[in-house]
Amino acid sequence: MQPDEGFTFEFNSREPVYLQVVRHFKVWIATGRLKAGQTIPSRRELAVLAKINPNTAQRAYREMEEQRLIVTEGNSPSRITGDERVLRSVRSELLEEAVDRFLELIRPIDVSTDELVALVRQKHAARNGGNSGHD
């Protein structure tokens, strides 16, 4: 998990930093960049990597442990969970969050669900190299 492998952190100043760290991990889990069972950096390493306060790194890991995203057994390094249910729920959580944000953005615009879905389908297909249909 190194910056040159694309693991870079960006933070805004209004959300708690520890929750932003957790979100970064969720995105990497959902996109398969972090795999089930993969070892993650120590709290101290994470602080240096993300350029954050070690206390914040500690809090982010505690939060991820509570959400069962990571597991820490004894003195061994923390790992991404192997629990498939948790991993799947991360993906759906991120998707739902994104869709909620999208719906909030277009709320002022008068548009039917059918029109919206058609547009999403068309744009999504275009982005995926023109092959509409499944996925």
Partner 1 sequence: MIEIENLQKRYLRKHVLRGVSFTVEPGLITCLAGLNGAGKSTILKAIMGLVPVDGGSIRIDGRETALHLTGNRGQLNRYRALKVAFIPDRPAMPPSMKVGEALRFMADFYPAIWNEEKARDMLAFFELGEGERLGSLSRGTAAKFNLVLGLALETPYVLMDEPFSGIDLFSREAIADVFSTGWLEGRGVLITTHEIREVEHLIDRVVLLKDGVVAKTFDSEEMRLAENKSIVDIMREVYRP
| Interface ranges with partner 1 (CB under 8 A) | 11, 13-19, 44, 47-48, 50-56, 59
Cβ 29 vs Cβ 90: under 8 Å: yes
Backbone angles phi, psi at 79, to 5 degrees: -130, 155
Residue closer to partner 1 by CB (options 51, 85) is: 51
User: CB 50 → partner 1: shortest distance, Å?
Assistant: 8
Which is closer to partner 1, CB of 36 or CB of 65?
A: 65
Q: Which of 131, 132, 130, 76 is nearest to 117 (CA)?
A: 132
Shortest Å distance, C-beta 53 to partner 1: 5
Round to the nearest angstrom and report the end-to-end CA distance of the chain: 29
Question: In the complex with partner 1, which residue's Cβ is closer, 50 or 87?
Answer: 50
Q: Which residue has the tokens 């909620």?
A: 100
- Smallest distance, partner 1 to C-beta of residue 8, A: 14
Q: What is the DSSP letter of 112?
A: -
CA 5 to each of CA 44, 56, 129: distance values in angstroms, whole numbers, following the listed order: 19, 23, 25
Minimum CB separation of residue 104 from partner 1 in Å reads 15
CB nearer to partner 1: pick between 11 and 38: 11
